[in-house]
Amino acid sequence: LTLLGIESSCDDSAAAVVRSDRAVLSSVVEGQAALHAPFGGVVPEIAARAHAEKLDGCVARALAEAGVGLADLDAVAVTSGPGLIGGVLSGVMLARGIAAATGLPLVGVNHLAGHALTPRLTDGLEFPYLMLLVSGGHCQFLMVSGPGEFRRLGGTIDDAPGEAFDKVAKLLALPQPGGPPLEAEALKGDAKRFALPRPLLDRPGCDMSFSGLKTAVLRARDALIAEHGGLRRQDRADLCASFQAAVAAVLAEKTRRALAESEAPVLAVAGGVAANSVIRAALQGVCEKAGVGFTAPPLRLCTDNAAMIAWAGIEKLQAGLVDPADLTARPRWPLDAMAAPMIGSGK
């Protein structure tokens, strides 16, 4: 099978061509960071218009780079939720148009299912496995037992870790997105200098919280500024290191619990925060102790992309599921609420 995938649920317009033998023939991602930067966050109307303008070009490039034509495809897969409704609609309408023009089957994919199934594309991972999704918008443990079988074991009750990295970076006058510069600062700092909280570790279960940590950094910062008339270089590095250590400690302990509860043989991590080497090492350590495998797909496939959507579409198609020609967009579509037997029917 060869599928075209289309993704437009947040601030990346993406298209990809993927084969059922796990070959990624092309994966085009066009970000919109520059468009949203002046507003300090993703503006839904701007995102929707940018997707409408860029998606055609992404699809054309994905087909050209893959060296395939529409006639070589077996189906079109598209993110049909969850996400910003305007963007999701742009993708769904384009996919519907292509399907109508070519007669190809249409497959609606849950964006989170796309992330959760990525290790099967990149590593050929067998079911079941535990997925920790840690990005700018998400933070959850998912037990993945089949292409449409996801059980949520817990997740953040407030901010996602990437969001916390971004907000703390902002507090410390570091550039956005905050993860990479904060990690670089932390390298020069002392992680034991500030005793920041480890939220929810005192409570059972796998839920997490990161917004209190951000507030604790704010207080520590203000105390330092009041004392020294400004934030000194070393103080900032120490704050970064202490914050990063707290996030890593929380993720590691909750992962230990999720592994014990699920008895999963492998942990797969996905999302931009999985790029953090301190967090990655902490998670790897937990897996080694538990005698459990560890895998992290390459970053370009574990941040938002369309190859994961094409792949999830392949898994859905292989299970005999296609969607009607009038596939609709679903702004809300929690994975664990998917009562449908498979990746969801888009209805």
Chain residues that interact with ligand ATP, rule: CB under 6 A: 10, 135-138, 162-163, 165-166, 177-180, 183, 271-273, 275-276, 303-304
Report what 159 binds from ligand ATP, Fe ion, none; CB cut-off 5-8 Å by kind: none
For residue 29, how many other CB atoms are within 10 A of its CB?
Answer: 18
State how far the Cα of 327 lies from the Cα of 347, in Å rounded to an integer: 7
Complex with ligand ATP: residue 183 or 315, whichever CB lies closer: 183
Binding Fe ion (rule: CB under 5 A), the pick from 159, 163, 304, 323 is: 304
CB of 81 to Fe ion, least distance (A): 12
Instruction: Pick out the residues of the known binding site for Fe cation.
Output: 111, 115, 304
Q: How wide is the angle at C-alpha 305 spanned by C-alphas 299 and 309, nearest 5°?
A: 120
CB of 12 to ligand ATP, least distance (A): 7
CB of 271 to Fe ion, least distance (A): 7
Judged by CB under 5 A, the stretch of 123-131, 258-266, 282-290, 303-311 that binds Fe ion is 303-311
Instruction: Pick out the residues of the known binding site for substrate.
Output: 133-137, 166, 179, 183, 276
Report what 262 binds from Fe ion, ligand ATP, none; CB cut-off 5-8 Å by kind: none
CB of 111 to Fe ion, least distance (A): 6
For residue 239, how many other CB atoms are within 10 A of its CB?
Answer: 27
Q: Residue 163 interacts with Fe ion (CB under 5 A)?
A: no
State how far the Cα of 332 lies from the Cα of 326, in Å rounded to an integer: 18
Residues β-bridged to residue 155: 140
State how far the Cα of 47 lies from the Cα of 51, in Å rounded to an integer: 6
The b-or-e profile of 270-299 (16+ CB within 10 A means b, else e) is: bbbbbbbebbbebbeebbeebebebebbee
Complex with Fe ion: residue 235 or 304, whichever CB lies closer: 304
- Whether a cis peptide bond, with omega within 30° of 0, leads into 105 is no
For residue 320, the SS3 value is: coil
CB of 90 to ligand ATP, least distance (A): 16
The residue ranges that bind Fe ion (CB under 5 A) are 304
